[in-house]
Amino acid sequence: MKRRVRGIHEFFARDPERADWEIFGRKSHPLSRRGFVAGLASFSALVGARVAYPATVPQGLIPASLADSTESFTIEGKDGLTLLNDRPLNAETPAHLLNDDVTPANRLFIRNNGIPPLSVDPKSWTLTIDGESVEHTKKYTIEELKTRFENIERQLVLECGGNGRAEFDPPVSGNQWTLGAVGCPQWNGVRLKDVLEDTGFNHDSAVYVAFYGADTHISGSRDRIPISRGVPIKKALDEDSMIVWGMNGGELHEMNGHPLRLVFGGWPGSVSGKWLTRVSVRDVVHDGPKMASPSYRVPCEPVAPGSVVEDEDMCIIHAMPVKSLITSPKSGIKHSVGSNLDIRGHAWSGDASIENVKLSLDFGRTWTNAKLEPPANRMAWQHWEHTISFPTTGYYEVWARATDDLGRTQPMVLPNWNPKGYLNNACHRIAVYVS
């Protein structure tokens, strides 16, 4: 790692090109991306160009051209990620670096709650399966997992529950993720279900399946563990819930859980335990660190922005909401008016699949369908593309909006404010300067 940067707040504060943020009088707050400016004149001034479709620019919209940070950092085996925090380490991937169909290991975000294990030996690593619903505790080496159970490969979306948190207004504490705490690698491993069944666990009493990992608490205390979460037994027994030792045919990156982790596609990343040493089949809803309110919970019923919500009114997040990303081109590009522009991206929706992706060039007045591919397998993100041309010169925004097969679609503005800033699935938009 080269530098230390604490959050995207600092990018705006330090980058002279982004001094514009100060005109909002809230420079400590990156959220202004979907916040408010005074009117079309200031919108034009901000983007430094004439705005195409001036009539439909929503009142007070902050231009997408100011949204993306250019900061990047270096960690071995990772390329172009943006560092949010280095203790614990948290880094996200800029949208245009997520353009691959299958996310390469060097482009997968990192979300650590504690300190990763210092030395890892895959040969001696073991996974223990225990819990109230397991009569005889079992232990497996990675070699045993590889040889005793059917090996499977799945492309599964891993997205942090707090992805998009930076946009919440009023702001909420936690890593200020913008767009890139998400990826969809191909995972190599076995079905969690097959291993659980091998223990002969008690189907009648099993309620929840929890993970324990080898990372240690940020305080240095040996008596505390950073995180131990889980999923209801139904999700644990899903055909596509996995224990994995590899990514894209290679090893897991050391920050992504090498040598063993869980992957539950489409659920908040926090359930996909890294550096996996133990899985417990519980006869109650798991009560490990970061299971209790307010962690990874949202108000059971919608609340007004800024509300204080009692612990008992917070519900555990299950599947993640419908969402899409524009991964090509990069926001802010210059394009010439006569030529076509290829737009590309991905879309995903928890346990469901995507029905359509629509694009708008006129701030949401009209929408056209993008060409959408079927998923490689359940809970893989789906690729979409579209070729567009711009009728005039000026400042444009391309907006993308996905709808899933249950009819759920993405909101244009920040949805359901919640105290911890989870589940922001507002539409992604990019800026294009046409000349």
Ligand X SMILES: Nc1nc2c(c(=O)[nH]1)N[C@H]1C(S)=C(S)[C@@H](COP(=O)(O)O)O[C@H]1N2
What residues make contact with ligand X under the rule CB under 6 A? 108-114, 158, 160, 213, 215, 226-227, 256-257, 269-270, 272-275
418 makes contact with Mo ion (CB under 5 A)? no
Q: Which of 9, 29, 107, 111 binds Mo ion (CB under 5 A)?
A: 111
110 binds, among ligand X, Mo ion, none (CB under 5 to 8 A by kind): ligand X
273: exposed, middle or buried (Cβ count in 10 Å: 0-12, 13-18, 19+): buried
Rounded to a whole number of angstroms, the minimum distance from the CB of residue 236 to ligand X is 15
Using CB under 5 A, which of the segments 6-14, 102-110, 111-119, 230-238 binds Mo ion?
111-119
Bridge-partner residues for 400, per DSSP? 359, 428
Residue 108 or 322 having the CB closest to ligand X:
108
CB of 212 to ligand X, least distance (A): 8
Q: Which is nearer to ligand X, 113 or 360 (CB)?
A: 113
**Of the two residues 327 and 360, which places its CB atom closer to ligand X in the complex?**
327
Token pair 């979907």: residue:
34
Decide which of Mo ion, ligand X, none touches 225; Cβ closer than 5 to 8 Å per partner kind. none
Tell me the two tokens of residue 343. 């737009």
Q: What is the x/- site pattern for Mo ion, positions 143-162, by CB under 5 A?
A: -----------------x--
Please report how close the Cβ of residue 9 comes to ligand X at its closest, in angstroms: 21
From the list 47-55, 108-116, 229-237, 423-431, the region that binds Mo ion by CB under 5 A is 108-116
Output the smallest distance, CB 33 to ligand X, in A: 22
Residue 274 Cβ vs ligand X, minimum distance, rounded to whole Å: 4
Please name the residues in contact with 213: beta carbons below 8 A apart, sequence gap of 6 or more.
Answer: 225, 227, 228, 257, 261, 273, 274, 275, 276, 277
How far apart are CB 271 and Mo ion at their closest, in Å? 9
The nearer residue to ligand X, 251 or 373, going by C-beta atoms, is 251
Nearer to ligand X, 109 or 396 (CB): 109
Residue nearest to Mo ion (CB): 160
Least separation in angstroms between residue 260's CB and ligand X is 10
Which is closer to ligand X, CB of 193 or CB of 274?
274
Question: Considering the complex, what minimum distance in angstroms separates the CB of residue 379 from ligand X?
Answer: 16
Q: Which of residues 236-295 bind Mo ion (CB under 5 A)?
A: 269-270
Judge whether 99 and 327 are in contact, CB under 8 Å.
Answer: yes
Q: Which residues bind Mo ion (CB under 5 A)?
A: 111, 160, 269-270
